[in-house]
Amino acid sequence: MAVASAAPGSIFWKQLLFSVLVLILFCHACQKISLQVPSHLQAETLVGKVNLEECLKSASLILSSDPAFRILEDGSIYTTHDLILSSERKSFSIFLSDSQRQEQKEIEVVLSARGNTARKKRHTKDTVLKRSKRRWAPIPCSLMENSLGPFPQHIQQIQSDAAQNYTIFYSISGPGVDKEPFNLFYIEKDTGDIFCTRSIDREQYEQFSLYGYATTTDGYAPEYPLPLVIKIEDDNDNAPYFENKVTTFSVPENCRSGTSVGQVTAVDHDEPGTLHTRLKYKILQQIPDQPKHFSIHPDTGVITTSTPFLDREKCDTYQLIMEVRDMGGQPFGLFNTGTITISLEDENDNSPYFTETSYFAEVEENRIDVEILRMKVHDQDLPNTAYSKAVYTILQGNENGNFEISTDPNTNEGVLCVVKPLNYELSRQVVLQIGVLNEAQFSKAANSQTPTMCTATVTVKVKDSDEGPECQPPVKVIQSKDGLPAGQELLGYKASDPETRNGEGLKYQKLGDEDNWFEINEHTGDLRTLKILDRESKFVKNNQYNISVVATDTVGRSCTGTLVVLLEDDNDHTPQIDKEVTICQHNTDFAVLKPVDLDGPDNGPPFQFFLDNSAKKFWTLETKEDGKTAVLRQQHNLDYNYYSVPIQINDRHGFGKKHVLSVRVCDCTTPSDCRMSIKGERDVKPSNVILGRWAILAMVLGSALLLCILFTCFCVTAKRTVKKCFPEDVAQQNLIVSNTEGPGEEVMEANIRLPTQTSNICDTSMSVGTLGGQGIKTQQSFEMVKGGYTLDSSKGGGHQTLESGKGIGQGVTDTGRYAYTDWQSFTQPRLGEESIRGHTLIKN
């Protein structure tokens, strides 16, 4: 694809504005592209655009064969200066090159001019332009590094066949010319000879990739850019050297011949794969030099052992002076040296041995936890390791366990101690045989010997000492009958003096007697009972009662022993049984009897059960096979009640007694459900039920709610308006307006009472007449109470009763009765008020 355009602003801007035609052509990659442009193009004018990726996707170099045009990376073609096409058509090529893939492509561009048909011919030696590539091709070229010159040094010459027809100028570009290192190469413009200006180090620049160009005097490029690769030939100017000047390896001692010790490596900066970097290794010297224990592979540098006799105890470190030489080890090759240190790793190939073959020690009898001897050993293996740390063992003479030997971690000595007292009277001398080995197992190397344990003899002399009393055996058992009464004597605990073998002069005391059954004779140690001995006591365990006794000599030395009184069981307890059983008829019709005998097994079950003849009418008794239980069963279903059942229970020896068993026959499923407490009656006692806090709270709230309801009903009843009721003779009575302060003669104090019964209230409404001829009705309510009246006047929303005119508890002679003064003070104001109100209404 190409786009042609012309920039405005030239002298022909009107013509260019209308005549420049931009063509977009779709073409195949690397084919000829034609563009129509004006005959006069100014500098930096966009001529068109070519799709370079369709021809070569990864072009590292884009060049134009005509210097009048420059090509951008996106394929845009611009003029480099003002250009007038001298002919109707002008062509040039775009060269694409991929240096990595060594691939080159060419795109031919043809420009067609409009408006100017004048042609300007090229100054050439021949009127016909012929392109030939017979001599324009890459030429292998090399240059020796560190060359001594003379400089400038000729390398090679490039020539183009176009020089036969044109005047050609040559040029080069790339690293060493216009890139680092600058000015290393240059080319003669007319001849194409390439020169080097100074010596080159191959280790710094292995090769140079240049491009050569051939152009005519007017800038036309008749040739592709020519890749020129100048390779720098290696010179053996670098000596090999070891990466580490001092290298350390390690190898176990006594290892087999041919064991790999390590590998040394050297570096040579000359060209790989050449004789300059073909290295050879050699051991120049071994320190110490005799015997020779190591060898090295000349090509790989692997060091191996050559003998199996490496012994760390003789020499623990070796040094090897190594040489590495290039040129395959030839004498004229460059070389270097280095030092290798080889350390031998220790193995347990030496057994420890005692410095002496026999030892002597003394110890007093009865001494314990005392050190009596220290034994030294030598071991040639590496100190403070498992290969040299000693482990001591008592081989013989310690059958009673009186001695113990351990290793001092600091000195590696064997420490012999007495851990159990020795008795001079039994043995005055003890001979021990002690052996020693290492913590680590003995090495099984090829040249190592079979390990042997080194032994030594220790003679321990026991010294006599004045000893205290001896309690032997520590525990003594005596037997006694069960039920032995108080005041009886028993043989006690006996201690003795080990020197005299008797107990003279010893005193005895009790240390422990839980239930204080005995007293002890301080001179003989015999016991005397203080209580009746009871095998069934809680202080007796497994028929044994323990007493602790201490024996003390005249000096105050003592020993302690234990006296165990073994009580022989006596058949002094009859079988016992629960006094009450329950039979739930909803579940079973029988009860299981399980007697208990506090005596021992010899005086216990199997039991014998006998039912009294008086109870056989209603009950049966069946003994189980084991003789430990029996089943009491009803003959028929009995009423729910309590029944007394006489039963005789004997042990295996026939010792027993009669029990009256209370049997409760109940209407229940399990005995715990039965509530029968007395004969024929249900248990009305409250069950042991514990109310929770929520139940108690619910009861309190319920009670409070009930009280609130009762109080509300009472208040409503008290506030209810009670209508006045007239007595039967109301028709014969008149209300008379009077200013008389006292009541009528017929009003007696005895007739004035407080209303007590609401059942006498009758609701009657009537008109009390018309006062002064007016139609105003005054409604009064009367209540008849046992011949008396209670006047309740309603006016102005107020409510006043006789009771309100007196204080609580004042003037009350008996229930519901008021004094005359109270009646007067209540009625007089009301009569006067009604009279005044009536007169006022009449006037109005």
Quickly state the pLDDT bin for 826 (edges 50, 70, 90). Answer: low
Closest CA to 301 of 322, 273, 318, 321: 322
The C-alpha angle with vertex 24 and arms to 22 and 30, in degrees rounded to 5, equals 125
Evaluate if residue 330 carries a pLDDT over 60: yes
CA 236 to mean position of chain CA atoms? 64
What are the helix (H) ranges across 664-692? Answer: none
More confident residue, 753 or 544: 544
Q: Which burial class, exposed, middle or buried, applies to 579 when counting CB atoms under 10 A from its CB (0-12, 13-18, 19+)?
A: exposed
More confident residue, 759 or 690: 690
Evaluate if residue 332 carries a pLDDT over 70: yes
User: Side chain identity at 541, as an amino acid letter?
Assistant: K
Helix (H, G, I), strand (E, B) or coil at 231: strand
**What pLDDT does 824 receive?**
60
Evaluate if residue 323 carries a pLDDT over 70: yes
**What pLDDT does 201 receive?**
92
**What pLDDT does 684 receive?**
31
Q: Which burial class, exposed, middle or buried, applies to 354 when counting CB atoms under 10 A from its CB (0-12, 13-18, 19+)?
A: buried
pLDDT digits (tens, 9 = 90+) for 209-238: 999 999 998 888 888 899 999 999 999 999
pLDDT digits (tens, 9 = 90+) for 589-637: 788 888 887 777 777 788 888 888 777 778 888 887 777 888 888 888 7
For 448-542, where are the E strands, in sequence order?
454-463, 475-481, 489-490, 507-512, 518-520, 527-529
In contact, 415 and 374? CB cutoff 8 Å: yes
Evaluate if residue 675 carries a pLDDT over 90: no
Report the share of the chain in percent with pLDDT over 90.
26
Q: Which of 16-25, 312-321, 524-533, 634-643 has the lowest mean pLDDT?
A: 16-25
Instruction: Kindly state the helix (H) or strand (E) to which residue 626 belongs, with its residue range.
Output: none
Quickly state the pLDDT bin for 197 (edges 50, 70, 90). Answer: very high
- Do you know the residue count of the chain? 844
User: Count of CB atoms within 10 A of residue 95's CB?
Assistant: 20
Quickly state the pLDDT bin for 660 (edges 50, 70, 90). Answer: confident
Report the share of the chain in percent with pLDDT over 70.
75
**What pLDDT does 22 receive?**
29
pLDDT digits (tens, 9 = 90+) for 412-443: 999 999 999 988 878 889 999 999 999 888 87
More confident residue, 523 or 408: 408
Evaluate if residue 253 carries a pLDDT over 60: yes
**What pLDDT does 685 receive?**
34
Which residues make beta-bridge pairs with 510? Answer: 549
List Cβ neighbours of 223 (8 Å cut-off, separation of 6 or more): 133, 136, 160, 162, 213, 214
**What pLDDT does 207 receive?**
92
**What pLDDT does 570 receive?**
67
Over residues 37-61, the mean pLDDT reads 80
**What pLDDT does 171 receive?**
94
**What pLDDT does 615 receive?**
78
Residue 697 sits at φ, ψ, to 5 deg, of: -65, -40
Q: Which of 455-464, 702-711, 782-791 has the lowest mean pLDDT?
A: 782-791
Bridging pattern class, strands 544-552 and 507-512:
antiparallel
**What pLDDT does 773 receive?**
36
Q: Which of 546-560, 620-634, 670-684 has the lowest mean pLDDT?
A: 670-684
Mean pLDDT estimate for the chain: 76
List Cβ neighbours of 837 (8 Å cut-off, separation of 6 or more): 778
Residue 98 sits at φ, ψ, to 5 deg, of: -115, 105
Residue with tokens 């199997």: 606
User: Count of CB atoms within 10 A of residue 751's CB?
Assistant: 15
Over residues 156-162, the mean pLDDT reads 89
pLDDT digits (tens, 9 = 90+) for 58-95: 787 888 888 888 888 878 888 888 887 766 678 888 88
Over residues 537-544, the mean pLDDT reads 83
**What pLDDT does 295 receive?**
94
Residue with tokens 């009930």: 706
The C-alpha angle with vertex 133 and arms to 127 and 139, in degrees rounded to 5, equals 140
**What pLDDT does 557 receive?**
82
Evaluate if residue 32 carries a pLDDT over 90: no
Task: Please tell me the distance from the alpha carbon of residue 844 to that of residue 834, in angstroms, as a whole number.
Answer: 15
pTM: 0.42
List Cβ neighbours of 636 (8 Å cut-off, separation of 6 or more): 618
Written as six digits, the tokens of 249 are 């390896």
Q: Which of 151-160, 347-356, 700-709, 773-782 has the lowest mean pLDDT?
A: 773-782
Quickly state the pLDDT bin for 204 (edges 50, 70, 90). Answer: very high
**What pLDDT does 360 receive?**
94
**What pLDDT does 811 receive?**
37
Q: Which burial class, exposed, middle or buried, applies to 148 when counting CB atoms under 10 A from its CB (0-12, 13-18, 19+)?
A: exposed
Quickly state the pLDDT bin for 122 (edges 50, 70, 90). Answer: very low
